[in-house]
Structure formats: structure tokens, C-alpha cells
Amino acid sequence: MPRPISASVSVSALAHNLAAVRRHLDQTAAAASGLPPSIWAVIKANAYGHGIEQAVAGFSKAQGLAMLDLDEAVRCREAGWGGPILLLEGFFNPSDLDIVDRYHLSTTVHNREQLDMLARARLSRRVDIMLKLNSGMNRLGFSPAAYAAAHERAMLLQQQGTVGSVGKMTHFACADGPQGVNEQLGVFNSVTHKLPGAISVCNSAATLRFAEIAVASEAQAHWVRPGICLYGASPFADAEAASFGLKPAMSLRSEIIAVQELKAGDSVGYGAIFRAERSMRIGIVACGYADGYPRHAATGTPVVVAGIRTQLVGRVSMDMLIVDLGPIPAAGVGTPVSLWGEDGPSVDEVAEAAGTIGYELLCALAPRVPVARDV
Ligand SMILES: *Cc1c(COP(=O)(O)O)cnc(C)c1O
């Protein structure tokens, strides 16, 4: 018997979340009398831990898929995805362009070196590009001062038959917080508004809160790039995924593998950081940080045992964590435990208790945890 820990990924929850985002965009577009944007479903980092093949199945109705790794792009093609694929960081060396060409990938172009590589490439067909502007986040993209010249070079490559369509893209630093997107959007608009091409600016937070900026009012096509919300987690610290009609797509479950009875004053686990104030029953759960559960989750982090919410106590160790069985007196060895997901706390609640975000927990699911695919 394997250890009793497993994750399940619901393809129908992925499809449900995509449909919820689609509906939100359509409603926003209808209210603004504009054209609804297309969706690039972001499936980087093994589809935020959910698996590329599951994502290809769950997001079959997306207009495109976006990711970073060439290997993941190839897996999408092998899984039967025939639609657009966008590489969010572009390519890294000239030989990557052979794969871009062979698998008909679209690519972000964010620096001069990538334009140089394109200029030297011999491709069998044109490659569609999204030219990225650094509108203030200062990670990737041409500076506002350099953008027009980069765009001109891209148009020249288009005339020469190397490049197909040239779109315009940027990424927001604060779409999930009070600062919002106005400053960066202002920079983006002022730099790009006279240039032709499709636009892509919205991650999940911007798609959920500022969908109106992705609604095309003119002839330019808009593409949104939601990631986290499609997996049923929230991009916001102050709003739950469920409030947007999203369903968790990954559930992490295990079982109680031992029970201990503590007397007042007894401690549990490494560092003895939790001490029982009175006698209590605790359950040892087969799930630890080597499974991807955050070690920084503190006493009080919600855990669901046999459908009843209780709390983690003491320090999370490599292979185990400890829960208070006070509210579940009938629990014993073999009782099911839900760490996050459909029948557990939300991954965002667990993340918050560990001082991080749901993204990190989903992406960090360890390879040793078997993943079952649900429909
Ligand atoms: C990861 C990523 C996204 C998706 O971000 P979420 O916050 O998960 O929606 C969108 N665009 C780019 C460029 C990204 O790297």
C-alpha cells in the first residue's frame, strides 16, 4: 500500500472556472457594448501543479494556452491541442526557434536579443509575436522609450516574412491590490495606442476586477491571460475564489495514521512548539512539507477531518502533520483528512496561515504525491 496521501485534479472544475471567466467577460463586454476578449488560459508550472494533460482537457474551450516551458508547449501539442500557444517569456536561444517553428508556437518578444535571434532565424513559417512593454513592473519588456523602435523592427521582420502578427502586451504589478492598474495602463496606452495589433494586458486579478479594460471597443483584438482563477484559487488577499463562482480544481487528501492522547503540558512535534493546555486527542496525518504542505503553516491552520473542520497543531514536519481531534471524537487511524480543495479548507486559507499565497502551494505539490484525474 502506498502512503495514504493523494491529490485529485478535477477536469470539470477547470472547465467550470474557464466558463465562469468567459461569462464574466461576455457580460462585461455586453454592458460596455464592446467585443468580448479571447482567453489565453495560463498553464505554466505544470498548470499550477495540476498537470498539463489535465489542463489541456479542462481548457479545451479556451482560445489559446500560455506557458513558459517549451517542453510543456510540446506536451500540449502531443495531447492534441491544435490552437494557439503563447510562450510568456519567449525563447532563450536560437535553437528554441526550431521548436517554436516545428510546433507552431507564438511567442512573447521582450528584449532586443530576441529580435536579433528572429532576424537571423530561418523558419518554415511565420511566427506570431506579442511585443512586450515594460510599463512599470520592471521585469520583462521594452522600456517605453525603446518600444516604438522595437515595434518597427518587428514590422520589418513581418515584411521580410519571418514574423506573422505583432501584438502588444504588458503585465500588471498591482492588479490584485489597492494600487490597481491605472498607472501602468496609462503608460501602456500612451506608448501603444497608435500601433496596430492585438492587445494583452490582464492576468486573473485584472480579468476579474477590471475586465472592462480587456473589452475591445475598436477593431483590435484583446486577449486576457488568467491563470490562478482558472484553478479555483483567488488572486486577491481580500476576496475568496468562491465569491467569483470559482471551484477548487485540486484537492489534497490524506488520512490519520496514528492517534495520541496528550495530558495538559504535553508537547507535540519538533521543537515542542505546541503544548496541550488540557488533555486532548491528536491525530497524526500522512502529509508533510515534502509533499508540498507549507512548513510555515502555524497552529490554527484549518484542516478538515471526516468532513469536520479542525486545526493543525505544532510544527509541520517532512512527512507528517498533527491535528486536534477534539471536534471529531470518533476519528481514528484511517479517518480521511482533507488538507485543501473541494472538501477541505481553500488552498488560499492554508496559504494565508502560512504567510504565502495559494499559487505557491498549488505549484509546490511534490512529485511524490500521486495525482488522480477526476472528471
Ligand atoms: C503567470 C502569468 C499570468 C497569469 O497570472 P495569474 O495571476 O495567475 O492570473 C499572466 N501573464 C503572465 C505574463 C504571467 O507570467
Catalytic residue set: 44, 270
Residue 62 confidence (pLDDT):
98
For 248-280, write each residue's pLDDT tens digit.
Answer: 999 999 999 999 999 999 999 999 999 999 999
Q: What is the CATH number of the domain that holds 289?
A: 2.40.37.10
Q: What range does the domain containing 257 cover? A: 250-373
**Within a domain: residue 2?**
no
Residue 231 has pLDDT above 80, yes or no: yes
Is any atom of ligand 1 closer than 6 Å to the C-beta of 46?
A: no
Q: Residue 349: its pLDDT value, please?
A: 98
64 lines ligand 1 (CB under 6 A): no
| Ligand 1 lined by 17 (C-beta under 6 Å) | no
pTM score of the predicted model: 0.96
- Specify the 3-state DSSP secondary structure of 164: strand
Residue 5 lies in a domain: no
**Residue-wise pLDDT tens digits, 175-187:** 999 999 999 999 9
Separation of alpha carbons 66 and 284, rounded Å: 40
**Ligand 1 site-directed mutation target among 44, 131, 171, 203, most atoms within 8 Å of CB:** 203
| Domain closes at, from 195, 219, 244 | 244
Would strands 302-305 and 308-311 be described as parallel, antiparallel, or unpaired?
antiparallel
Cβ(227) – ligand 1 distance below 6 Å: yes
Q: What's the grid cell of residue 204?
A: 486573473
Tell me how many domains the chain contains: 2
Q: What are the pLDDT digits (tens) for 77-116? A: 999 999 999 999 999 999 999 999 999 999 999 999 999 9
- pLDDT at site 41: 98
Q: Is residue 4 part of a domain?
A: no
**What pLDDT, on a 0 to 100 scale, did the predictor assign at position 304?**
98
- Confidence tier at 172 by pLDDT (50, 70, 90): very high
The ligand 1 atom nearest the CA atom of 359: 8
Residue 87 pairs with which residues in a beta bridge? 67, 107
Percentage of the chain surpassing pLDDT 90?
Answer: 94
Q: Are residues 238 and 255 in the same domain?
A: no
Q: Where are the alpha helices (DSSP H) in 79-132?
A: 96-102, 112-120
What's the grid cell of residue 232? 479555483
